[in-house]
Structure 1
Amino acid sequence: MNTYCIAIVLCLVPLSGGSNSGIVGGKIAEPHSRKYMASLQFYGNHVCGGFLIRDNFVLTAAHCTSILPNTVVLGAHDITKKEKSQQRIKVEEHIQHPNFRGEFDFDIMLLKLKQKAKLNDFVQTIDLPQKDKTIKAHKACSVAGWGKLHPSKNSPASDVLREAEEKIQFNFECKTIYKEHFHAEHMICTKFDKNGGSLCQGDSGGPLICKNKPLGITAFTNSSDCSNPKYPHAFTKISSFLPWIKKVMGGLGNESKPLDRKDDLSLHFN
């Protein structure tokens, strides 16, 4: 994959009590201000981000199965503590997009939870976009995650949720840099100010939020320095996959039960 890496890479090192992923710089998020955020964990260790889109479904990146998360933690601010606000729910099923081949494109996955989340003052779903449309450059957005405070390999992790601001980049600029790895029909990319904080490797699966809507899923960045503003951050474009999400869940909200997924594998995108 040359100088580019899927954002889970830093999670492949031995895990500790905190996250090996997260926002470099940025600021600490107001506790429980992002009630949709999910920490995807493997036996108590954070491996990826995600976000609650229905009371029994979390949306994340398909490559997060590199270390298979078996638990979703909702309502968390400090993931090293057992906060009363937290709900720890086992994952019943990992549903990757059928066209995902372990690389960059179609990097989207739904996690079906074994039980429904209890929606309250700390845990809420976030609504998806209703249709696929072009996303204009320069739109102000935000990202959030737990963990890495610096781009260096041995950087300490942040225990609490951090957030940063990024802006939508022109697709042609991302294509010029990432070439065959960037597919504009399925991806979005962002530019950022190094002093204002940025995503880093391992912060996979978290949402790109623009005007209170999740437009992207954190996918990949430059492997040598995630905080280098010359290299945009790439996200899976959620609106491109609305038909697949709707088919898997039986709708885009709580209106119906998930469908039998024996039909899902035949769904393809142009």
Structure 2
Amino acid sequence: MRQFSSEEQHITKIISEGKETNVQTLLDKKLLGVRISLDRTAKTHDLLFQIVQRPISPPEFQALVERVGQLTLDIIITVNLLKMLADEHYIILVERTNIIPTKFEFGQGASNAASVKYKFADENVGGLLLDYASKEIITTPELTRFVEQGFIARDEQRFQLQIATATNALKISKRAFRLSIAAISLTFLGMCINLFFNIRSYMSSGIKIKQEQIDTLSSDFNAVKQDLDTLISINRNDNAQQPKVLKRLNNSKTQKNRVK
């Protein structure tokens, strides 16, 4: 359903409040000096504009032309609005009596005064006026909600609800995505920190092992040096001490092989 104009909103609000219950009362305030004559048998629908005298004066004729245009527009807006509201099930149009008059008039023009007749050019509008003129307007709770919600149709309301739901879902998805990225980043950072400490521990341990090996080799070299110095200083004829020194040298060589 299309968006309502300000005039249509005003009429719809009046109907929803129960102030006017048929076409005649909806149009009555706009019919000052005008009568609407309807004949369902002949299917005629005329506007009778009261005039001061015949022949009609030029100023009065000009005012009448303007009045015809405005009143015709008011009738078109009213009957089309009622059709739209009835089609959307916001209102129900019913005949309250079994005796439906074939001819009737309504408005605020004097029946015995001079008048100028105007016939609707649009037969569809005239037909709607003939159909609705004697019917009573019954409102539904849907009409009240329609007015309270700013004249937004049900389809539009559903569409806006779907848009709002989709927007909220998108916001939640974005938030969840950001949280996932943050969790992954923290996990990656933890892995990097853990890797750093593992490498540092491994390097520290390796350095410690190498230092211990160096200390062991240094000690063995010192022992060998001492043994060599001892051999040099021993008397070549002292056969008792030579086997002991050679045994110590062999032991030192064996320890060096183990370190390697």
TM-score range, shorter chain: under 0.3
Relative to its length, the structure with more strand (as a share) is: 1
TM-score of the two chains, using structure 2 as the length reference: 0.21
User: What's the TM-score once normalised by structure 1's chain length?
Assistant: 0.21
Larger radius of gyration: 2
